[in-house]
Structure 1
Amino acid sequence: MKFSHSLQFNSVPDWSSHYIAYSNLKKLIYSLEKKVHQASQLHDGESSPLLNGSIDDPDKIFSNALDHELEKICTFYQLKELEIYGDVDTLLRDEESYEEDQETFEAEQAEQAPGTRGSKRPRSNSIFRTIGFGRPRRTSTMSQSYEGDEDGESEDGDDENTRLRKSKSRDGKKIWDSHTEDDLRASTDFASSRRRASLAFDDYNDMAFSALYDSGVSLKRRTISLYVSICELRSFIQLNKTGFTKVLKKYDKTLDRNLKRPYLEQTVDAAYPFQQSTMDHLSENLSRIETAYSKICTKGDVAEAKRELRLHLREHVVWERNTVWREMIGIERKSQAANMGLRQTMLGQDTDPQKLRLQGDEIEPDMKEVITPIGRYRCPRWLLSSTFYTLIVIFAIFLLLLFAPIAKMPPEQQNCLALVVFVSLLWATEAIPLFVTSLLVPFLVVVLRVLRTDAKPRTRLETKDAATYVYGAMWTPVIGLLLGGFTIAAALSKYNIAKMMATFVLSKAGTKPRTVLLTSMFVAMFASMWISNVAAPVLCYSIIQPILRNLPSDSAMTKALLLGIALSSNIGGAASPIASPQNLIALQHMSSPIAWGTWFFIALPVCILSILLIWVLLLVTFKPGRNTTIVPIRPMRDSFSGIQWFISVVTIVTIALWCVSHQLESFFGHMGVIAIIPLVLFFGTGILTKEDFNNFLWTIIILAAGGLALGKAVDSSGLLHTIAGAITDKVGDLSLYGVLVVFATLILVVATFISHTVAALIVLPVVQGVGQKMNEPHPDLLVMGSVLMCSAAMGLPTSGFPNMTAIMMEDSQTGQRYLRVKHFITRGVPSSIITFLVIITVGYGLMLVSGL
């Protein structure tokens, strides 16, 4: 999560205006960057007014902005601290009073006889004063008589008759009045008198206990509230300190200055909120609150008090984030959904509102009114969408192929043909998610019984054996190789190794537009080899942000850079076996998977030559060097840590083992087994966590597994043999080179309009079958040439993830997209043709030399 989002999400809502204005300071940094860049164009280094300590010195401007933020933070903190600590002192005094009230209540409870006076009287400010707690009680005439004798004087509340009933003493003898006998009889009714006294005592104790209980509950709530407030005060300090650190780091990195350390040491650390004594005082008050809570709620157990208070703090934070910020998060998510809708509109995809609906939003069902000759009806909108009708057509084709008689085709092959067409249409139209279609493959393979036994005579497998076979085909060593590639990519990205390498190379490119463009393209290609061509363009676009910020949005250099990185990332998807899923699918369809060294021998020259030719195309069509000044990219100053060295060594060793996997086949068996090494070392040591594992592109893995299962089904049913024979008859007069050109052209057209991986899933099994049927079998050569061509299809914005990422890039200030569809058609289509020509010439020669 970006710090700006973290600051917004973790700040106290009522204090939001008193935190560091991190986003505004970032905007100021970019503004100063532009001014410095413009000044460097107009003046040389010695005469630039921005660099001579003048009033326009960026350090001075930025320091003044920071001073303003620091003053705002300090003023608010001091006021809030005074308020909260005052409440703490009041709470502690009330807590002491509560303890004394508890002692008073316990002393009264200890008195067994209801008529006995309490040993302690409540204080003047005690809660028990309101209910008469501690005053003498009148329980019976007997007790009053004896009390009168002992005290020698009457009670203030006695009336005349009562005084007459009391015994008198004359010369040590007792004298009774005329009512003495009756009163004695009444007073000796001891059981009745005892019950009356007990009831009065119970009612009295209930009132006292209720007052004490209410006071305790109130104190508990106040204690929890103050504990939360002090924790929020501590978070306020920590978030703002982190904000100053991060914004100064960004300033130094963006403008190549050294302001961070002196400003933090001399100004921020010296400010009252960030002094160590302030934090110590805060911790001391937290301890006082915890001790007070322990006395009120946990019988003096401070450890238990800390645990309960932390639970209350957690509940408060969760409640606050789920309520106060819900509206803010909802607005942001709706904005993202709107952007996604805009993106789908630009890419010509379905923009059904049902798909853009946000999870958790309380909106009415998406219904539409339909007018028919017999009345008006309301029905779900998806029933009227193009996707729904597409699904109906695909199902109709599936049923037609499944039940219509096809001459000279066994039932398992006819069922398999219906299955292949059905799955291919679903993949091509993306009527349902791609991975969901892949999950349909094993289900339909088993239900339609398209698999046959390997031994002759080949009979249809029963469903139980078919299920075991098809699931075994889905989980192969190639899937393990894919997981190994994801693991290496995750480690290189998480620990910034890929970014450090990329910025180091780009920092050496200088400021010449053509050199920067070429270097960026090769960096994108290299990154695509190891962290996939999905993540590589995102990484490269983040690195060249300083260049984009200082160029006009309509600059030719901007367009050339974005397009160059996208096209190079596509081509880089063919540079290594783990660069993209289609490469792993190709390895699965080779008679014997080629070693990594052989792959590099063929793919790297093809990729490098293609990128050079595309670079020339971009220079000729965009002319990015005219009136363009480039801001140099600065390398990351962070030194390599021990973990980064460990990741690099493990990655290099793993790749080296993959390169010589054929020589080690007797030991490892398959490259997929070698892929377990980074999985165990990175996840076992905690470098990567289970969250990283869960974040793998499992949809791609399921897609690849479904494709492998489909390929096995087509082969086992005999359909592949039939189709390959038919195509071979058509191209029987063509040479191996002619067949390669035909399939490369077919792949180029298909992969331009649908996913590269899907194109490989559909076409590569057929290519392999045709290669095996030829008079001079070269199935591996045809598969290799075809998979290289999959990555070269990049003529439209939808022709691969790098193109989709590029067309969504926007100017941060104007919000305008840098690229249009026309840029991909006018440069992407020629680039695809250039790469096609390189593959069928240079690539073909290298494949022959390597012995494919």
Structure 2
Amino acid sequence: MKFSRTVQFNAIPEWSSQYIAYSNLKKLIHSLEADAATRLALGHHDAERVSLIPHEESTTEYDAIFRRSLDDELDKICRFYTEKERDLLAELERLTKDIHDFHGRASMEQTSSSSGSSYIARGHSDVESLAPERQKILDKNGDLLSMESYSDGDEQFTEISDIKIMLKKRAIALYVSLSELRSYVQLNRTGFAKALKKYAKCIGREMSGNYVPDIVEQSYPFLHSTREALEDKIAEVNVLYASISTNGDISQAKLELRAHLREYVVWERNTVWREMMGMEKNIQGVGLTNQGLLVSANPITDALEHKGVLNLPPIEIHTRLGTIRLTRLIFNSTFAILSIIGAVFVMLLAIPIFDRPEPQACLAILIAASLLWATEVIPLFVTSILIPLLIIVLRVVRSDDMYHERLEAPGATKYIFAAMWTPVIMLLLGGFSIAAALSKYNIAKVIATWVLSNAGTQPRNVLLTTMFVAMFLSMWISNVAAPVLCLSIIQPLLRTQDTNSNFPKALILGIAFASNIGGMASPIASPQNVIALQNMSPAPSWLAWFFIAIPVSIIAILLIWVMILVTLNPAKGAIITKIQRSTEKFNRTQIFVSAVTLITIALWCVSHEMESVFGDMGVLAIIPLVVFFGTGLLTKEDFNNFMWTIIILAMGGIALGKAVSSSGLLDVIAISIRSLVSGMGIYGVMVVFGCLILVIATFISHTVAALILLPIVAQVGQAMDDPHPNLLVMGAALLCSCAMGLPTSGFPNVTAICTTDDQGRPYLSVALFITRGVPASVVAYIVVTTLGFGLMDIVGL
């Protein structure tokens, strides 16, 4: 969570204007940063540039400007604290005296009671003991009626109870106010530290002097003695409350008082992994308007609504009991699409297409699941959860022996669920653990900023370096997290650009395209690669994958870089400030995480040579899981933050692929497709299938396209006269990553189209994205089907 949001959420509403104006300080920092970048790029003062700050050459002037703003905020905070503290201490003094008087009256009441005095006598004694000014306070709070109005003993007894209740309420209110004053000091102290850190990061230098220890912490609200005194006053209120509420039990009083405190939002540094998770959770609701904003992710629904199919006039059924309107039920888009898919499913079950029931039922499941995945009318992972249920209930699977007998429900359950948890799923979990550790301990960001800090100030060089950084990060922390991290690193570059410059557009597009391409560069870079490994027998080694995918990725990125330079001319109007290298050095924890990561990757690379020891590369994925979580470097919260929806999606796809194969449907499909591509060589089949995959993966997610198509591609390759199933499967997986023609074609594209400037305006329009995304997809397709095919042939796939 950003600290500006933390201030907003934690601020006491009545005090909101008295907190450090962190957002205003950030705006000032960005103004100073933009001014410094402009003067650095132009070399002189631009008289036409409107700026609220002076243009002295020395950056020490920036210190003075920022220092004045900090001083103003500090003065405001000190004045408010002093005034509030004075009021609360005065109320504490009054409350202490009132509670003391109350206990004195209680003692008199006990004495009177023992001598047989009436309630009236006790009541009058209590009333007379109250000072007139405190009677006025109680009356003002509205919880105590006028004492002179009572006429009998019961009313006087009730009055005493009301006084006690009022004193408890005052103690609670005072405790809450003092506690809020304590949090006020803590939050503002953090605000000053965060503002100075932001200044150092954006301006590229520490502000002269140690402002927090020398100035802030020497001011009255932040003094150690002041904070200790405040704690003592809070402890006094605990004692006072205990004396009138819990019979002197301080611990119980603390529990009761703390229950009245408001909950505070704790600030913690946002990691790329957390941001990625937030995007992944929201991605299924993403779509585009012609302004580039998000509305819907369902192109079929949008088309139907645009044509008016889902906006028909209401259907009215007149009955004796009244009129029934069916519009919102029947023609609701979600309900309508689900009804259509359900009807297709039932029809495919009912109409005899095959001689045996297993492939018949499996075809119905395959078509229904594909439609649900493609339309995303329900979440993708929900469809995956539904698949094993349908497979078992409809008895789709058959035994693997020579008889191929139809399995009953108990046998089918064991068969399918055993197939769903495979070493590939463990590989996915191992990749997630590495990504989480690299992000949590800032390793990926340190490496990325080190590389980008050496990119120079030429727009074309900065763009190319950024694209290769995005590709490299995609290999190890996934092509979902990589664009988020890269965009956070280049924020200083984006903020300092003129509104008419194309450089921000080129950078954001370059990161998106390079992250997509990087999704093919390693087996754990994207889910489609993991799905490909599941459909390849034997699975290629990591070295073989690198030998094919890395040259393909590098050439594709270079060609896309040239395309962006030619079509956008990012150098025009660009103001380049050098990315600041991270000042933090690798600590022992970062070195340890890096070492575990490198060892795991090295073992993955030689996994085929170590099959006699580990059996499968998925078993090696257990190493980072055990080490990172066993040592406490990653916590159970990190484990809960894994992209379990992706894992469930992959498991559902594996179950469907197993069912398609076991039922005999895959053999039927392969025979039909083989007849269509008869006479074609392996290269011709790859070109044809490649076009189909590129189009499908452009309109639906890359992962879904891989789930649907890769099992079919593998079977077609196996059934050819010259079998090359692994070549076709890997080629198809690489081509899934090449599909980036639409802003909704993948996670990197959605990240790019959602990126906005400080005023909330998107950098990219849909038209701009499509006119660059489609050519980029074609370029990548050509590279995969030429260079990629040649490298796969050399490896012997």
Partner of residue 163, structure 1: none
Q: Give TM-score, length-normalised by structure 2.
A: 0.87
- In structure 2, what is the equivalent of residue 394 of structure 1? 341
CA contact (8 A) 2:483 2:748 kept: yes
Identity %: 54
Aligned to 1:735: 681
Aligned to 2:785: 840
8 Å CA contact retained: 2:657, 2:711: yes
Match of 1:798 in 2: 744
Matching residue of 1:254: 202
Aligned residue number for residue 343 of structure 1: 293
In structure 2, do the counterparts of structure 1 residues 206 and 600 end up closer, same or farther at CA, with 3 Å as the change threshold?
A: same
Q: Tell me the equivalent position of 2:697.
A: 751
Distance 1:770 1:304 in 2: 73
Structure 1 residue 390 displacement after superposition = 3.2
Counterpart of 1:3, as a letter, is F
Q: In structure 1, what is the equivalent of residue 282 of structure 2? A: none
Shift of 1:377: 5.7
Aligned positions, number: 742
Counterparts in 2 of 1:546 and 1:460: CA distance versus 1, 3 Å? same
Residues 1:774 and 1:101: Cα distance change in structure 2 (over 3 Å): same
Could you tell me how far 1:698 is from its partner in structure 2?
1.7
- Take 2:311 and 2:13, find their aligned partners in 1: how far apart are those partners? 38
Task: Work out whether residues 573 and 579 of structure 1, in 8 Å CA contact, stay in contact via their aligned partners in 2.
Answer: yes
**Amino acid corresponding to residue 607 of structure 1 in structure 2:** S
Structure-1 separation of matches of 2:164 and 2:294: 60
Residue of 219, 239, 256 corresponding to 1:291: 239
Query: Alignment RMSD, CA only?
Result: 3.1
Q: CA deviation at 1:349?
A: 4.3
Q: Deviations over 1:484-541 (max 9, x none)?
A: 2122212222222222221111111111101100011011111111221112111111
Structure with max Cα Rg: 1
Give the whole-Å Cα distance in 2 for the aligned partners of 1:745 and 1:811.
Answer: 36
Instruction: Write the mapping of 1:13-92 to structure 2, written as runs, cut at 5 A.
Output: 13-43=13-43, 50-52=55-57, 57-92=61-96
How far, CA to CA, are the matches of 2:407 and 2:465 in structure 1? 55
**Cα distance, 1:49–1:223 mapped onto 2, change above 3 Å:** closer
How far 1:265 moved relative to its partner? 3.0
Q: Which secondary structure does the structure 2 equivalent of 1:555 belong to?
A: coil
Residue 75 (structure 1) shift: 1.1
Equivalent residue number for residue 775 of structure 2: 830
Q: Residues of 1 paired with 2:117 and 2:216: CA distance?
A: 67
TM superposition shift of 1:95: 2.0
Structure 2 distance, partners of 1:217, 1:642, is: 57
Q: Deviations over 1:248-298 (max 9, x none)?
A: 110111011322752223322222111122112111211211222222223
Deviation at 1:678, TM superposition (A): 2.1
Counterpart among 389, 395, 404 of residue 443 in structure 1: 389
The one-letter code of the counterpart of 2:648 is I
Question: Which has the higher mean CA deviation after the structures are superposed, 294-303 or 483-492?
Answer: 294-303
1:596 equivalent in alignment to 2:542: yes
Q: Which runs of 5+ in 2 are unaligned?
A: 46-52, 135-150, 266-284
Partner of 2:480: 534
Larger deviation: 704-713 or 372-381? 372-381
Match of 1:403 in 2: 350
> Secondary structure of the residue that 2:314 maps to in structure 1?
strand
Counterpart residue identity of residue 314, structure 2? V
TM-score (norm 1): 0.81
For 2:104, the equivalent position in structure 1 comes to: 100
- Please show how residues 662-673 of structure 1 align to structure 2 within 5 Å: 662-673=608-619
- After superposition, give the CA deviation of every residue in 1:314-353 in whole Å (9 maximum; x if it has no partner): 58x79xxxxxxxxxxxxxxxxxx9998873459774788x
Aligned equivalent of 1:240: 188
CA distance in 2, matches of 1:286, 1:390: 61
Q: Which residue of 2 aligns with 1:633?
A: 579
CA contact (8 A) 2:702 2:745 kept: yes
1:567 and 1:737 mapped to 2: Cα distance?
Answer: 26
Return the alpha-carbon distance in structure 2 between the equivalents of residues 301 and 765 of structure 1: 69
1:579 Cα offset (Å): 1.1
Task: Work out whether residues 742 and 773 of structure 2, in 8 Å CA contact, stay in contact via their aligned partners in 1.
Answer: yes
The yes-or-no answer on 1:304 pairing with 2:277 is: no
**For 1:269, what is the secondary structure of its paired residue?**
helix
* 1:551-603 Cα shifts (integer Å, max 9, x gaps): 12342212111111100000111111111111111111111222222211211
**1: CA distance, partners of 2:286 / 2:556:** 37
Distance 1:789 1:113, change over 3 A: closer
Alignment pair present for 1:820 and 2:765: yes
- Does the 8 A contact of 1:127 with 1:212 survive in 2? no
1:122 and 1:412 mapped to 2: Cα distance? 90
Q: Which residue of 1 aligns with 2:314?
A: 370
- SS in structure 2 of the partner of residue 634 of structure 1: coil
Describe the shift of the 1:205–1:681 C-alpha distance in structure 2 as closer, same or farther (beyond 3 A): farther
Contact 2:37 2:576 in 1 (8 A): no
How far apart are the structure 1 equivalents of 2:37 and 2:645? 44
Structure 1 unaligned blocks of 5 or more: 131-202, 319-336, 356-365
AA aligned opposite 1:497: I
210, 229, 237: which one aligns with 1:281: 229
Q: Quote the offset at 1:206 in angstroms.
A: 6.2
Write the distance in 1 (CA, Å) between the matches of 2:344 and 2:377: 15
Q: Which amino acid aligns with 2:380?
A: L
**3-state secondary structure, aligned to 1:313:** coil
Give the Cα–Cα distance (whole angstroms) in 2 for the partners of residues 310 and 36 of structure 1: 49
Judged with a 3 Å threshold, the aligned counterparts in structure 2 of structure 1 residues 260 and 377 are, in CA distance, closer, same or farther, namely farther
Task: Give the superposition deviation at 1:39.
Answer: 2.2
For 1:345 and 1:498, locate their aligned partners in 2 and report how far apart those are by CA, in whole Å: 33
Q: What is the aligned partner in structure 2 of residue 143 from structure 1?
A: none
Does the 8 Å contact 1:452/1:460 carry over to 2? Answer: yes
Q: Please give the residue correspondences for 1:222-233 in structure 2 after superposition, counting only pairs within 5 Å.
A: 222-233=170-181
Distance in 1, matches of 2:724 and 2:495, equals 51
Tell me by how many angstroms 1:209 deviates. Answer: 5.4
Query: For 1:378-422, what per-residue CA distance to the aligned partner results, in whole angstroms no more than 9, with x for missing partners?
Result: 44536324444333333333233222222x542211221222122
Of residues 208-217 and 801-810 in structure 1, the stretch that sits farther from structure 2 once superposed is 208-217
User: Which deviates further from its counterpart, 511-520 or 684-693?
Assistant: 684-693
> After the TM superposition, which residues 419-818 of structure 1 pair with which residues of structure 2 at under 5 Å, given as runs?
419-813=365-759, 815-818=760-763
Amino acid in structure 2 at the alignment position of 1:466: A
What amino acid is the match of 2:342?
F
Distance in 2 between residues matched to 1:50 and 1:605, nearest whole Å: 48
